[in-house]
Amino acid sequence: MKLEDVKRLDQQDKLHSYKEEFHCDSNTYYMDGNSLGLLSKRSEQTLLTSLEDWKQFGIEGWTDGKQPWYYMSEKLGEMTSPLIGAKPEEVINTGSITTNLHQLLATFYKPSGKRNKIIADALNFPSDIYAIKSQLELHGLHPTEHLIQVKSTDQYTLSEEDIIAAMDEEVALLLLPSVLYRSGQLLDIERITKAAHSHNIVVGFDLAHSIGALPHKLNEWGVDFAVWCTYKYLNSGPGGVGGLFVHEKHLGRKPGLAGWFSSSKDKQFDMEHDLTHAQTAGAFQIGTPHILSSAPLLGSLEIFQEAGINEIRKKSLQLTRCLMDLISEKLATYNLKIVNPTEDHRRGGHISLVHPEAASLCKALKQQGVIPDFRAPNVIRLAPVALYVSFEDVYNVVLILKDILDNDKQKSFSNERGTIA
């Protein structure tokens, strides 16, 4: 693949102009949007609007501001719902992945008799496993006995067959990532959900590495619940407020962890000590919304509405394909191994490379203006995000990596992770 080839792809790209919507350093190739997305100019403006509402209206900003705070979580849920194939009432912007996971586990995990186990996986991000173990212990159960972690045969990917084989009448709930953070593998959500429901198992997914990168059909597939963060592909900013989905068949259910904002909107200020919870996903909120961490998402989601998640997915697949092809073509003689699935239907929005000097290579890349992501012990993650990465960017990143390897520039750095890997 030559430079003129990638330039032609950029000329044909329907989303190419959206790069101008983001604050991109012209001297940097940002390939870490799967950890923290870049700031868009619209997100900057909607954050400033909420600050202006606070300045101008004070407490009246809850109802009278340009972006009323009292209904912001619901508005964001409505704007998010098309990205995951949900109905607006099934989605709410609130909390974080871990707090939302605690809420939904407290709501849906009801061990009874022999049906008391939870299926997860051995490759999941640690915080999900921490939450599961905590919930088991709150029920007086022991994780070593009641948590089933499906193992990987290659340490990077999971087999849907192995996941399904772990299902039986002793399992109460299943929680898996939609896309594995380490390898970028996209699981077959529909197939897993159907199999789990045939065993009467409640199904939840963590969409952290898929929401904003690819379309979902959570309502159609019958997924019971899902959680996600918004600071990766959704570009809401560091610590941006998370989100959750609860299938319509469960709406009206009492939240496991009740709180101030679990209330029905029209009853919330009656100050009654018996909760009248919302009949929407809003019931699974707990505390007061974090407005200044939610407001940037208003601007970001406008971009998604315009660009369309299907177009974003189309370009994302083209970008990751281009990146893999260039690595195979130009770096074949080096000890780099692509460990993410290469098939389009099994690949999320980032690719994962394994190299024994992965940590030092990431440091060398940063010195050369490329922002990658390292995951211990030996994984380099590269995420060419469709909204602000071009095909020429991908081409140049591979050339920079080739130059580093050609000249052993990584040898100037220790092969140990930094504080933030």
Rounded Cα gap, residues 416 and 374, in angstroms: 10
Type of residue numbered 99: T
Please say whether the beta carbons of 234 and 212 come within 8 A: yes
Rounded Cα gap, residues 134 and 137, in angstroms: 5
| Interstrand relation of 147-150 and 117-121 (parallel, antiparallel or unpaired) | parallel
Please say whether the beta carbons of 381 and 310 come within 8 A: no
User: Looking at residue 32, what DSSP letter applies?
Assistant: B
Please say whether the beta carbons of 88 and 144 come within 8 A: no
Q: Report the binding-site residues.
A: 97-98, 125-128, 206, 209, 231, 260, 288
Please, which residues bridge with residue 118 across strands?
147, 173
**Three-state DSSP class for residue 151:** coil
> Does residue 377 have a cis peptide bond before it, meaning omega lies within 30 degrees of 0?
yes
CA angle 297, 371, 299 (to 5 degrees): 15
Q: 152 CB contacts (<8 Å, ≥6 apart)? A: 121, 122, 123, 158, 159
Please say whether the beta carbons of 163 and 241 come within 8 A: no
Tokens standing for residue 360 = 């030092």
Read out DSSP for 202-265? EEEEE-TTTTTTS---HHHHT--EEEE-SSSTT---TT---EEEE-GGGTTPPPSS--GGGB-T
Q: Report the binding-site residues for pyridoxal 5'-phosphate.
A: 97-98, 125-128, 206, 209, 231, 260, 288
Please say whether the beta carbons of 311 and 16 come within 8 A: no
Tokens standing for residue 406 = 């050609």
